[in-house]
Amino acid sequence: MDKEGPAQRAWQQFWIPFGPYGFVLPALLLMGIATFWPMLQALYLSLTRYDLLSTPTWIGLENYRRLLWDPLFWKALGNTLLYVALVVPPLVWLPLGLAILVNRPWPGIGLFRLLYYLPVVFSVVVAGLAWRWLYAENGLLNHILSLVLGHAVRIPWLTDPRWALFSVSLVTIWKGLGYYMVIYLAGLQGIPTHLYEAAALDGANRWQQHRWITLPLMRPYQVLVLILSTIAAMKVFEEVYLLTRGGPVYSTLTLVYYLYERGIRDLEMGYASAMGLVLFGVVLLLSLGAVRLYSSREEGL
């Protein structure tokens, strides 16, 4: 064995406590550049007036004050929260039901899984264009309704402010079902079968097995889906952009779409950054709320 010199020992004493951080450093650097630095920049920009082409001008909290008095911001926030309320509950419960159904070893079940998952692999653009056709005044949906009801039906899916947000949310639900179903399916397949066997021996019927085994064990997955779908719904942009562009008269204006309009179209980067940070705060609060809700239920078990 080599004898170690004092310089080397000193270096090792330094290296041992800090060395492991060296392994994290490359990833940390990348995260810093791609994630944290833009966040800090957004924070800085939100305190400036900036149009991309001129140097940012420091205006302190002016953008946030302006947000408070901007009716469109409140409209966008209200629409976004309404959208979350429309989209998240179905996305938490429907895929769970579907996953339970397609978790059976029935013949041909693989085809059903595929069919439900198919919308996930469509690009949002393709889905958006297809749904625009379906929703058209003389489109397939109104045609089918007319056939079923026996008289001409013309539901203004996207052109009536009372219907538009609901119609947009339907597309999101359709597209998200398969994705969340797969998450639940993974969870269901992880439940040990002996639990069901033991319950069956104890005389539990199928419903009781669901109620007391499946549902409690799926709760962590539900929280995951709740958080994922809430964050996705808060950030909704593509569906709005492709189907309604925020209209008619702002009835589908969501936070991210408004942020895009202000930032990219009107070149108000500072204002858009302020909005982005508020969005970040709201998403954080909702996610923490979801986790807290889950924790309290766990404690109550």
Helices 71-102 and 215-234 pack at an angle, to 10 degrees, of 150
Confirm if 244 and 171 have CB atoms less than 8 A apart. no
- Asked if 243 touches other proteins (CB under 8 A), the answer is yes
Residue closer to other proteins (CB basis): 56 or 64: 56
**Given the complex with other proteins, which of 76 and 226 has the nearer CB atom?**
76
Instruction: Please tell me the distance from the alpha carbon of residue 278 to that of residue 276, in angstroms, as a whole number.
Output: 5
Applying CB under 8 A, does 54 fall inside the site for other proteins? Answer: yes
Among 81, 82, 134, 136, binds other proteins (CB under 8 A): 136
Q: Which residue of 10, 33, 144, 198 would you call a contact of other proteins, by CB under 8 A?
A: 33
53 binds other proteins (CB under 8 A): yes
Contact 52, 268 (CB under 8 A): no
- Phi-psi category of 156—alpha, beta or left, where left has phi over 0 and alpha has psi -120 to 50? beta
Position 11 contacts other proteins (CB under 8 A): yes
Residue 25 lies near other proteins (rule: CB under 8 A): yes
Q: Which is nearer to other proteins, 1 or 201 (by Cβ)?
A: 1
Token pair, residue 136, equals: 């058209």
User: Considering beta carbons, is residue 183 or 240 the nearer one to other proteins?
Assistant: 240
Residue 233 and residue 172 in contact, taking contact as beta carbons nearer than 8 Å: yes
Q: Of 170, 143, 149, give the one whose Cα is nearest residue 158.
A: 170
10, 31, 39, 52: which one binds other proteins (CB under 8 A): 52
Give backbone dihedrals phi and psi of 281, rounded to 5 degrees, phi first: -60, -45
Q: Which residues bind other proteins (CB under 8 A)?
A: 8, 11-12, 15, 22, 25-26, 29-30, 33, 51-54, 132, 136-138, 156, 158-161, 164, 243-245, 247-250, 264-267
